[in-house]
Structure 1
Amino acid sequence: GPDRRRTVGAWSGLGGVATAIGPVLGGFLVGLAPWGWRLAFLINVPLAVLVVLLAVRTVPETRDEQADARPDVTGAVLAAAGLALAVYALTVGPQRGWSGPVVGCLLAGLALLIAFLLTEARSSHPMMPLALFRDRDFSGANAVTLVVYAALSGALFLIPVQLQRVSGFSPVEAGSALLPITVVMLLLSARMGRLATGIGPRLPMTVGPVVAGAGLALLVRVGPHASYVLDLLPALLVFSLGLSATVAPLTATVLAAAPHRQAGVASAVNNDIARVAGLLAVAVLPGLAGITPSAYDDAARLSAGFHHAVLIAGALCAFGGVLSFLTIRRRPDPAGSAAADAPTPRSVPTHCAISAPPAPVDGSATATS
């Protein structure tokens, strides 16, 4: 209904805002002192405490009475260990060579991830219910999440590095340079969510990643003595426009494809895939683009590698649009579109600081993450 659409739009917009604000805050903290880079990690402690307090005070409690309360310890251990070993190998291999121990870590990680999938398929209380992926829209939307968020994370990791090491920006300037993404996401995400309700998610999820990929490709103009207004800003505006068209419809598609009682699980799976995509991109993209550890001290080599990286990220992002066109089949919601402007019932609370949409007030659906 309209409550869910408004919530998904707010959630998606705020998520994009938080992602873009991170480099700004990080740049400010790094510039405070020679040891300021440590503050970029320590700041997460008070933020985590704040999130817990807000969740306790504002998020309504919901639970699935039919769900098994036992945690999937085996699945969690296999997934964490498998990802840790695989990411370590993918990070170290391109830099130090594919020695026997590195290849062994990669193979062990892949074996543990396969064991994780087999465990989830047989578990009565899986951490990641594989049955959700039987829905074509759910599988397609999560595949799009994987490639788009890999492109996003890889680019957001390398842009500040390029601006500081090659273009001569300070840490604060490099972080602040990404603020247009925050502004555009904040202004357009909810509107794009409403648009997708009327025309269906397939079109914005197809066009959005292609536009975002074009924005990433425009970053090849950023080099020594780059002009913010002429070289960087146009690329960021195009990228953020495409991202805004993608994120809210993508999230809404994931949630709409799952049964109501598993909305929270669907949200958690999608968030996990986005985080894994970012982890893999940061580990793999620099090496794939030829950015070795020594390149960070050589402006010419770093700039060349950055240009290769943004082209790879742009192509990956555009591929997300192709995936959307081939896999997303969910139709427009004319009734929901007509109701989108109706007043929200006073008895239904809405919240922005959440990780899944609120459950219906009749208790028939649950959301946990």
Structure 2
Amino acid sequence: MSTETTSTTAGEPGPADDKLDRNVLLVAGVVVLGAIMSILDITVVSVAQPTFQNVFDASPAQTAWTMTGYTLALATVIPLTGWAADRFGTKRLYMLAVTLFTLGSILCAAANSIEMLTFFRVLQGLGGGMLMPLGMTIMTRAAGPHRIGRVMAVLGVPMLLGPIFGPILGGWLIDIASWHWIFLINLPIGIIALVYAAKVLPSDSPTPSESFDFVGMLLLSPGLALFLYGVSSIPETGTVLATKVLVTAAIGLVLVVLFVLRSLFRSPEHPLMDLHLFRNRSLSVAVVAMSLFAIAFFGASLLFPQYFLLVRGESTLDAGLLLAPQGIAAMLTMPVAGILTDKIGPGKIVMAGIALIVVGMGMFTQVAVGTDAISASASGFDVTEPSYLFLLSALFIMGLGMGGTMMPIMTSALQTLKDHEIARGSTLMNITQQVAASIGTALFSVVLTNGFNDSEAATELRTATESGTTPDPSIVPTALSDMSGAFGSAFLVGTILVAVCIIPALMLPRKKAATPVDPAVLVGH
């Protein structure tokens, strides 16, 4: 890297090194490729669930394991990433993760049963789970704390746009080719990412002498997997009190609590996840803000395509395309938010972003319409209010807010960490996001399902729509009115949860980080 990365004064980078140079941008390109593979694959597979049911003659509960198994593999491997990055080096581990993910993708495409597909999805998840925390570590070290806002904005593109464009890509590939291609598309991307990483990523200096916390692994990884399995089973069972939910989640929670107690009071020399990082106030506040935001954002994100599919009667591809304004708006504000975060701190940026999301999601609470706004016809059904212009405007406003929210929160957590803490800090943030996203998904699924279950007409129409049969025309107006009411209630819950995020956002830094810049960080070592 050039000598432009020196500081003019202690703790204050000079004008030249305040910009993202060519080397940092090249490293960012590698990381974004890996993130695209990992995140897109989650949403792409969600679109293919009905296809899997038909191809493998499987029940919805069986095909759901192609998503749950991937999520549990992510949760299991993420805690190991911080230690492995320190032990083996980020470059070698990143290339291993890409290889595992790509190999898992090829095997998924070759699966001839739902059981085989689920098993290979777990293999995919073992690679995919390492890509995001490793990517954050690599980018933070390459850019340095004073530029982390901008590089996090780059990484935020796939993180925020994956849930939006994944359904579009999945629907398109299934329509024009076959379900195999939602996995095979990862092969060329994986090969490019491997070659790119080998040439661009700097060699790092791992510490082979560092011991591994086996007891911590035996507590945390199974604990997270069991807890998330229990939480992920809530939509299927419809209640938190089901044995499948309560027992597995409780066992998982006990294991996690034991891990926390051991880490705080026994303090192993090299803990699997360093909880003492919570002494850093910026990181602690950011973790709380990230948890609340991930619950609200990732949970509510499921509602938008479902609304267009179930109430508006759109196709999978069209439902995905209707979400495009959200992604376009996020791409507009994300780079600006990254630059401003580096210059004035994340606090004001995040508060403005949350306010915009509250406004946009609040507009979606108006989807609850009466039977007079819904008409049934011989060819199907139609909803005349609210207008598509109104809903697309709401999505655009939310997108503007999204671009200024999640990545500035992560920036707040990571920019004050020392070089040797970065891998553990990024691992901690990714675990937080994964757990919170799973909780949010379960929460909103239950809220929406309970809303549907309160209406016999809505239940009958939903069953007919998902099975591809023609519903009784006489129930359509009432059913659609009740379904839109259920969506309106769920969006209200989402609006309130996003609004609550303002509380921790008030405690985020509102000025530029004053942490001295470590030259070793700036050269990527």
TM over 0.5: same fold? yes
The Cα shift of 1:278 comes to 1.4
Change in CA separation of 1:257 and 1:208 when aligned onto 2, cut-off 3 Å: same
Q: Which amino acid aligns with 2:198?
A: V
Alpha carbons 1:166, 1:303 under 8 Å: kept:
yes
Structure 2, unmatched stretches of 5+, are 1-12, 21-142, 369-382, 464-478
The Cα shift of 1:124 comes to 2.1
Are 2:233 and 1:92 equivalent residues in the alignment? yes
Change in CA separation of 1:100 and 1:14 when aligned onto 2, cut-off 3 Å: closer
- Partners of 1:249 and 1:178 in 2: how far apart? 23
Are 2:297 and 1:116 equivalent residues in the alignment? no
Counterpart pick for 1:328 among 508, 513, 518: 508
The Cα shift of 1:130 comes to 0.7
Other-structure match for 1:8: 152
Counterpart pick for 2:170 among 26, 36, 43: 26
Other-structure match for 1:206: 351
- Partners of 2:253 and 2:287 in 1: how far apart? 20
- Partners of 2:276 and 2:406 in 1: how far apart? 24
Are 2:218 and 1:56 equivalent residues in the alignment? no
| 1:22-171 alignment runs, 5 A limit | 22-32=166-176, 36=179, 40=182, 50-63=192-205, 65=207, 69-93=210-234, 95-97=237-239, 98-121=241-264, 122-171=267-316
Matched residue SS, 1:125: coil
- Partners of 1:32 and 1:72 in 2: how far apart? 48
Structure with more relative contact order (C-alpha pairs < 8 Å, separation 6 or more)? 1
Matched residue SS, 2:352: helix
Other-structure match for 2:491: 310
The Cα shift of 1:105 comes to 1.9
The Cα shift of 1:19 comes to 3.9
Other-structure match for 1:250: 409
The Cα shift of 1:111 comes to 0.5
Identity of aligned residues (%): 25
- Partners of 1:174 and 1:47 in 2: how far apart? 26
Alpha carbons 2:278, 2:284 under 8 Å: kept:
yes
Q: When the two structures are aligned, how many residues end up with a matched partner?
A: 339
Other-structure match for 2:332: 187
- Partners of 2:402 and 2:325 in 1: how far apart? 12
Alpha carbons 1:141, 1:253 under 8 Å: kept:
yes
Change in CA separation of 1:82 and 1:175 when aligned onto 2, cut-off 3 Å: same
The Cα shift of 1:140 comes to 0.7
Q: Which aligned runs of 4 or more in structure 1 are off by greater than 6 angstroms? A: none
Q: 1:248-274 CA distances to partner (integer Å, 9 max, x unpaired)? A: 322221111211332233223222322
Other-structure match for 1:339: none
Q: Which amino acid aligns with 1:307?
A: G
Is the radius of gyration larger for structure 1 or structure 2?
2
- Partners of 1:50 and 1:314 in 2: how far apart? 40
Q: Which amino acid aligns with 1:322?
A: I
Q: Which amino acid aligns with 1:272?
A: I
- Partners of 1:331 and 1:192 in 2: how far apart? 14
Structure 1, unmatched stretches of 5+, are 337-347, 349-357
Counterpart pick for 2:161 among 5, 13, 17: 17
Q: Which amino acid aligns with 1:86?
A: F
Alpha carbons 1:12, 1:251 under 8 Å: kept:
no
Other-structure match for 1:273: 432
| 1:193-232 alignment runs, 5 A limit | 193-222=338-367, 224-225=383-384, 229-232=388-391
Instruction: Say what the alpha-carbon RMSD is for the aligned residues.
Output: 3.2
Are 2:454 and 1:282 equivalent residues in the alignment? no
Moved more, 273-282 or 81-90: 81-90
Alpha carbons 2:172, 2:317 under 8 Å: kept:
yes
Q: 1:85-109 CA distances to partner (integer Å, 9 max, x unpaired)? A: 3233334346354244542222212
Change in CA separation of 1:156 and 1:46 when aligned onto 2, cut-off 3 Å: farther
- Partners of 1:47 and 1:216 in 2: how far apart? 34
